[in-house]
Structure 1
Amino acid sequence: MISRRQFVAGGAAAAIGVASSSANSQAAWPTREIRSICPFPPGNGADVIVRFYAKLLQERIGKTIIVENRPGAFGNIATEAVARAKPDGYTIGIMAASSQLAAAAALFRKLPFDPVNDLDQITTLMKLPFVLIVAGDSPFKSVADLTAHLREQGDKGSYGSAANTGLVASELYKAAAGLKTVEVKYKDPLGMLNDLWAGNIGFTHLDPVTILAHLKSGRVRALATSAKDPFQALPNIPSAAQAGIANSDLIAWWSVAVPKGTPADIKSKLEAAFNDAVSSQEHAKFVADIGCDPFPGNHASAHELLVKDIQAWGEYVKLANIEIM
């Protein structure tokens, strides 16, 4: 018969063994493939970005990164999948955090996840502004030119919006300049650009990825970015501050997140791997080619930025009178 002392001692040994096994498993991470949950459909431009970062991570940790596409619900399906995954380091989210997390917190009455408390930030990856553009044959060569014209037009002037970030950027400009320009909503950027070229709207804000080819061909002219500071990838475009839009410092940014409770040593390894990737020449060229800048950071700076942007988006929703979903 096993005595109580033997039973307790055996149980303690077993517990120590389990803890030791868990610690060894963490130390050996990764031992198998890792899933990166992607909120975009395959082949989408943003999906290409996710796969690029997955490739850089794979090269640095020596394990396969499987990109699992779960589009829908404005990215909430994929984000929830990351948040609800087992926190063992084998599920990550490479995401446009400024929209999937920060903006989502303000745009939805009820999210199926908490952007701050259900996820741990690993680090930031890249950033991009929105760009204030007019038609390439427009007489306006600066924000000051455009502002003078729009003031004369009053509420007869109009601008286009096809996404909430572009809408907010335009409303920040309106507020700074004291304009009464009216918003015209579009379902997609192409229809909006066609109306810009036809002279039906005066200006819009779009991301660099969408407009770079049109900038190079001269079909659109960039007057300013929505960011306070200049962007290395857009050296010939004034920042919002340089153009006199003093209230605007709006950027989109990408980061990596994991389920809350992922072991600290695994998070540290992910942070080191991604920061090494972000500092590479391959990464610098990739982001420059799409009008973005590298955005190195760490878990603390990413968390701080997320909290700050959630608060900012609460104000943006009011400014732009965006309907909460």
Structure 2
Amino acid sequence: MKVSGLNARRAAIGLAGALSMAIGLPSHAAGDYPNRPIKMVIPYTPGGSIDTVGRLVAAQLQRQMGQPIVVENRPGASGMIGSEAVAKAQSDGYTLLFNASSQVYLPLVAKNAPYDAIKDYTPIGQIGHVPLLVVANTNVPANSLRELVQLAKAKPRTYAWATSGLGTTSHLTEEMIRHSFKLDMEIVSYKGAVPQLNDVMGGHVTAAVSPMPGVYPFVKGGRLKVLAVTSGKRIPQLPDVPTVAESGLPGFELLSWYGIWGPANLPAEITQRLSREVNKAVQDPAMKARFADMSFETVQSTPEQFKALISSDITKVSAIVKAANIQID
């Protein structure tokens, strides 16, 4: 049967539309994005630092984009359950991941990580970074990290760390302190910062390392004592608290940075639109004021810059993991 040029063009257009629908991305999707609610997955329990910052960002993005940004907490397996869900979602911009640097650290320490931090995601933008605080129960007879180290050396297996999840920045910092000072301190893992810090405050676990936005209110309220900060320099909110570097680990600095990802193969138009909106959100004056209270330093980045940061951190942390022989099942 002979097909005319016009009919051939119509057939090609129809086939292209069918293929677009088959992969879940209509040809007009990028042009009118977003036209329905966006889901933002946070792979930890409500109330922790990642959740606190993520909800602030989601609310601002909602105001800017005119569509609901629905936050969904999916904790478990040190954040891997929620992260895996996003990796398997449609690449249409309606399922996003808000997570911290642990997103790229976990595959370095987990034997059977369910995702590849590079191949399974589209980096959209870094939000910023924050120092972590080394804190302890108020009844622990130590007022600095040096003193805690002395206690742990004097009484092996008496004291323990709580971490918000294996492979997190919290966990890596605790492992480095334990390894560097040769401490016999157990590390107990929790499904997020809230249960982690609750058990330290309750006296069930001795100490913890946790990002500042979630833990600082408990320090201000006198429910936890702060022993050190993980930044390279002392921070304005706690000028009398030494850094980990000052506490016996020269050169130490490990910050927790936060960012937004989409599934792999997110269309470039949608990626760039989200990147612009994220950069606009972190520069909002009200947002900057909220972040300043938490010692959270915002950054503006392109998807390419965020991708470069991820690659650089993987190289740096891989060396730490190897030196401390950190591995989880």
Please state which band the TM-score falls in when normalised by the shorter chain.
Answer: 0.7 to 0.9
Counterpart in 1 of 2:65? 61
Instruction: State the distance in 1 between where 2:272 and 2:237 align.
Output: 29
Preserved CA contact (<8 Å) 1:154 1:181: no
State how 1:89-168 maps to structure 2 within 5 Å: 89-96=93-100, 98-99=101-102, 101-133=103-135, 149=150, 153=153, 156=156, 159-163=159-163, 164=166, 165-168=169-172
Counterpart in 2 of 1:311? 315
State how 1:6-25 maps to structure 2 within 5 Å: 7-12=7-12, 14=14, 24-25=28-29
Instruction: State the distance in 1 between where 2:157 and 2:72 align.
Output: 44
Q: Within the alignment, does 1:32 sit opposite 2:36 as a pair? A: yes
Cα distance change, pair 249–77 in 1 and its aligned pair in 2 (3 A): same
Counterpart in 2 of 1:272? 276
TM superposition score normalised by structure 1: 0.78
Instruction: State the distance in 1 between where 2:287 and 2:236 align.
Output: 14
Identity of aligned residues (%): 26
Superposition deviation, residue 266 in structure 1: 1.2
Superposition deviation, residue 223 in structure 1: 4.1
Superposition deviation, residue 46 in structure 1: 4.2
Instruction: State the distance in 1 between where 2:212 and 2:47 align.
Output: 19
Aligned with 2:29: secondary structure? helix
Counterpart in 1 of 2:255? 251
Aligned with 2:260: secondary structure? strand
Aligned with 2:126: secondary structure? strand
Instruction: State the distance in 2 between where 1:302 and 1:146 align.
Output: 36
Structure index of larger Rg: 1
Counterpart in 1 of 2:305? 301
Q: Within the alignment, does 1:71 sit opposite 2:79 as a pair? A: no
Cα distance change, pair 65–136 in 1 and its aligned pair in 2 (3 A): closer
The residue type paired with residue 180 of structure 1 is K
Instruction: State the distance in 2 between where 1:75 and 1:142 align.
Output: 30
Q: Give unmatched runs, 5+ long, in structure 2.
A: 190-195
Counterpart in 2 of 1:189? 197
Counterpart in 2 of 1:212? 216
The residue type paired with residue 191 of structure 1 is D
Instruction: State the distance in 2 between where 1:16 and 1:180 align.
Output: 62
Preserved CA contact (<8 Å) 1:229 1:240: no
Q: Which of the numbers 75, 79, 85 marks the counterpart of 1:81?
A: 85
Preserved CA contact (<8 Å) 1:234 1:291: no
Instruction: State the distance in 1 between where 2:115 and 2:157 align.
Output: 40
Instruction: State the distance in 1 between where 2:308 and 2:54 align.
Output: 23
The residue type paired with residue 86 of structure 1 is Q
Aligned with 1:275: secondary structure? helix
Instruction: State the distance in 2 between where 1:30 and 1:131 align.
Output: 38
Superposition deviation, residue 57 in structure 1: 0.7
Aligned with 2:318: secondary structure? helix
Instruction: Provide the alpha-carbon RMSD of the alignment.
Output: 3.6
Aligned with 2:119: secondary structure? coil
Superposition deviation, residue 145 in structure 1: 6.5
Aligned with 1:121: secondary structure? strand
Superposition deviation, residue 24 in structure 1: 4.2
Residue deviations 1:291-325 (CA, integer Å, cap 9, x gap): 43324333123222222333344344444444421
Residue deviations 1:58-82 (CA, integer Å, cap 9, x gap): 1111111122333333322221221
